[in-house]
Amino acid sequence: MEILTGMIVPLLLGLTFFLFGMNVMSGGLETMAGGGLERTMKKVTANDFLGFFLGAGITVAIQSSSAMTVMLVGLVNSGLLDFGNTFGMIMGSNVGTTLTAWLLSLAGLEGKWYIEILNPSVFAPILAFFGIAMQMFSKKDKKKDLGNIFIGFAILICGMDLMSDSMLSVRTLPGFDSFLATLKSPIIALLISTAFTGVIQSSAATIGIVQALALSGGITWEMAIPLVLGANIGTCVTALIGSIGTNKNAKRVVIMHFSVNFFGSLVCMIIMYILKAFGVGILSAEIAMVGVAIVHTLFNAINTVLLLPIKKLLIKFCEFVVPDKEEQTHTVFLDERIFNNSPLAISECRRLTNEMAELTRTSLKKSLDLIFNYQQYTVDAIREEETLSDKYEDKLGTYLVRLSNNKLSENESHQTARLLHSIGDFERIGDHALNICKLAEEMHIKNISFSEDGKKEIGIISDAVKEIVNITIDSFIDDNAEVASHVEPLEQVVDKLKKQLKALHISRLQNNECTIELGFIFTDLLTNFERVSDHCSNIAVYTMQLPSDMLDTHKYLNKIKSSSNSSFVEDYEMYKTKYRLD
């Protein structure tokens, strides 16, 4: 009972506060950083040194190597980042995560007032006060996020103090000497630390407990080193969970993360045993909190230097563990751990919506080409792409609806609504691509074709539809309102073409120049073309509108058409001339 009340309960309470404070602090930092982190990561690929410093910088900024690993897995899974180029960022992240240990090591500072003021236990309550004030009285989201960071840090330090206090009297408790004797076996200490970190999914918390033990004067360098190494191995469990449902390259990122920590730990353990064999005295000396921070930093820094020259061997090892196999299905991956970080979650949704847009463009182009050049493998590809498009809409739609219930800024709310509307239109364009594919397939099976006039007319409106889709998707991906403004004039031209072609088709029917069977196919094609242009118009409006416009499509379109600006009329006349029927 004495062990329960004197050590375990305070330790668990302190660990709870520590993890909660870390979560609050990292959440505030991630929100302030926003989705720009991911966009920056996409730009740094081939240079391992830049990747190292970027990985370290991001992890220092958001105080979460797990969040950065999730971004890496997502980027590699989507094909936007090459698996081999993640090495530098992984190593940088390992170094960046050591900052927490250095902050906690300040808790042991003693001396004059200007020294003790650096002790987090002294200034953390002050930060908490300012943090609460920002939360209560500030109206700006950025200041509230900063307040969250202050509050989270104070709670983290409070948790560390509770863990430290629980360790101060721990040496007098029965059974503690037996526990220390267990840790004297480096292998057992390594396994205990690995398992514990894997369960709580926080290497920082494990390092914090090791530092609390060090503050009590209970452990030596020989005990601390395996505990620190185990924390680095155990943190890979978080990345392993994040890789579930991803493709082979994303899984290789996880293997890479595990490999660098495991092989590095193996080398360090061998070195420690060699030093022990030679009787190096420092191993048996008691370690201080700052010593734990030094071990943590040196391990990751030396690990980077040792493994950088054999990067290619590590990549080959990862490829051996996760071999190349034909991908059966494309995975639409949205990680739940970034859900509460609204800017990052919106950025991920935006990335996947861009993928969906490109898929839509490809599928529609194939279907239009299929009208005059039938290929069975193209039909099969379009069917698979339409199924994948449905997956995108289902995953993104569910995620965005849930995300819209988060506390969002006006701009974030607008972006979420815009994506939610757009994925529906992209999915419908994919449906129309499949409809056009089926009509082309019907013509092939029945061995029928349009007259020369019919082919020419379908060719003209097909070209117009291709252009409106290209303009729409380019403007959406680039978030370019000026380019999007060209969509609506072209949509009006497509509508006019449909009416003209329908009238010409009726004339041919009346003159017995076309069969009724072909007439139905011709009319269905025109209907699908018009619907595609309508959806393009919707997407373009979402791109052009400001948050204050409230995504009222019809009202906004009427505003554009009735505007005194002559650009709409000029574009309309230009497209009407370009796609005129001779």
CA distance 343 to 167: 39
Alpha-carbon distances of 114 from 16, 107, 128, rounded to whole Å? 31, 14, 20
CA distance 376 to 369: 12
Task: Kindly tell me the sign of the dihedral angle through the C-alpha atoms of 463, 464, 465, 470.
Answer: positive
pLDDT at position 153 is: 75
pLDDT at position 450 is: 83
Alpha-carbon distances of 201 from 198, 233, 478, rounded to whole Å? 5, 11, 37
Q: Taking residues 513-517, what's their average pLDDT?
A: 75
CA distance 459 to 525: 11
pLDDT at position 408 is: 79
**Hey, what are 373's tokens?**
């050049």
pLDDT at position 326 is: 47
Most confident listed range (80-84, 144-148, 230-234, 508-512): 230-234
Q: How confident is the model at residue 393 (pLDDT cuts 50, 70, 90)?
A: very high
Query: Quick check: is 192 in a domain?
Result: yes
Regarding whether 341 and 308 lie in a shared domain, the answer is no
Q: Is the pLDDT of residue 177 over 70?
A: no
Q: Which amino acid would we find at residue 463? A: D
Query: Quick check: is 125 in a domain?
Result: yes
CA distance 78 to 333: 8
Regarding whether 406 and 308 lie in a shared domain, the answer is no
Query: Quick check: is 154 in a domain?
Result: yes
> Phi and psi dihedrals of 220, rounded to 5?
-105, 175
Q: How confident is the model at residue 462 (pLDDT cuts 50, 70, 90)?
A: very high
Regarding whether 536 and 473 lie in a shared domain, the answer is yes
**Hey, what are 516's tokens?**
């009724």
Q: Is 404 helix (H, G, I), strand (E, B) or coil?
A: coil
High-pLDDT (> 70) share of the chain, %: 76
* C-alpha count within 13 angstroms, C-beta hemisphere, residue 372: 14
Regarding whether 65 and 207 lie in a shared domain, the answer is yes
How many residues are recorded in the chain?
582
Query: Quick check: is 505 in a domain?
Result: yes
| pLDDT, tens digit (0-9, with 9 covering 90-100), for 144-176 | 877 887 887 788 778 767 766 666 555 555 666
Most confident listed range (101-115, 438-452, 458-472): 458-472
Read out DSSP for 204-252?
HHHHHHHHHHHHTT--BHHHHHHHHHHHHHHTHHHHHHHTTT--HHHHH
Contact 426, 363 (CB under 8 A): no
Specify the number of domains making up the chain. Answer: 2
Q: Is the pLDDT of residue 219 over 90?
A: no
- Of the two residues 394 and 140, the one the predictor is more confident about is 394
Quick check: pTM over 0.75? no
Nearest Cα residue to 147 out of 161, 135, 129: 135
Question: What CATH number corresponds to the domain at position 506?
Answer: 1.20.58.220
Regarding whether 541 and 394 lie in a shared domain, the answer is yes
Q: Is the pLDDT of residue 364 over 90?
A: yes
Q: Is the pLDDT of residue 114 over 50?
A: no
Q: Taking residues 102-109, what's their average pLDDT?
A: 67
Nearest Cα residue to 526 out of 435, 401, 445, 441: 435
Give the domain extent around 468. Answer: 336-578
Q: How confident is the model at residue 131 (pLDDT cuts 50, 70, 90)?
A: confident
Query: Quick check: is 126 in a domain?
Result: yes
Regarding whether 445 and 555 lie in a shared domain, the answer is yes
Regarding whether 299 and 351 lie in a shared domain, the answer is no
Residue with tokens 């007259």: 451
| Final residue of a structural domain among 273, 290, 321 | 321
Regarding whether 345 and 275 lie in a shared domain, the answer is no
Regarding whether 292 and 395 lie in a shared domain, the answer is no
CA distance 240 to 253: 9
Q: Is 97 helix (H, G, I), strand (E, B) or coil?
A: coil
Contact 509, 525 (CB under 8 A): no
Q: Taking residues 263-270, what's their average pLDDT?
A: 90
pLDDT at position 472 is: 95
CA distance 77 to 253: 10
Q: How confident is the model at residue 438 (pLDDT cuts 50, 70, 90)?
A: very high
E strand residue ranges, 424-499? none
Burial class (CB in 10 A: 0-12, 13-18, 19+), 270: exposed
Q: How confident is the model at residue 372 (pLDDT cuts 50, 70, 90)?
A: confident
pLDDT at position 547 is: 58
Residue with tokens 């991803």: 246
Query: Quick check: is 498 in a domain?
Result: yes
Regarding whether 347 and 310 lie in a shared domain, the answer is no
Query: Quick check: is 331 in a domain?
Result: no
| Final residue of a structural domain among 321, 354, 369 | 321
Query: Quick check: is 185 in a domain?
Result: yes
Q: Is the pLDDT of residue 349 over 60?
A: yes
- Of the two residues 360 and 68, the one the predictor is more confident about is 360
pLDDT at position 121 is: 64
- Of the two residues 331 and 524, the one the predictor is more confident about is 524
Q: Taking residues 470-474, what's their average pLDDT?
A: 95
CA distance 191 to 441: 61
| Final residue of a structural domain among 321, 350, 365 | 321
pLDDT at position 75 is: 66
pLDDT at position 332 is: 65
Regarding whether 376 and 507 lie in a shared domain, the answer is yes
CA 53 to chain centre: 20
Lowest mean pLDDT among 471-480, 505-514, 530-539: 505-514
Regarding whether 378 and 275 lie in a shared domain, the answer is no
CA distance 505 to 261: 70
The mean pLDDT value of the chain amounts to 80
High-pLDDT (> 90) share of the chain, %: 22
Q: How confident is the model at residue 495 (pLDDT cuts 50, 70, 90)?
A: very high
| pLDDT, tens digit (0-9, with 9 covering 90-100), for 59-91 | 776 656 666 776 677 667 655 577 878 888 888
pLDDT at position 238 is: 67
pLDDT at position 18 is: 67
Supply the DSSP symbol for 259: H
Q: Across-strand partners of 286?
A: 220
CA distance 61 to 432: 45
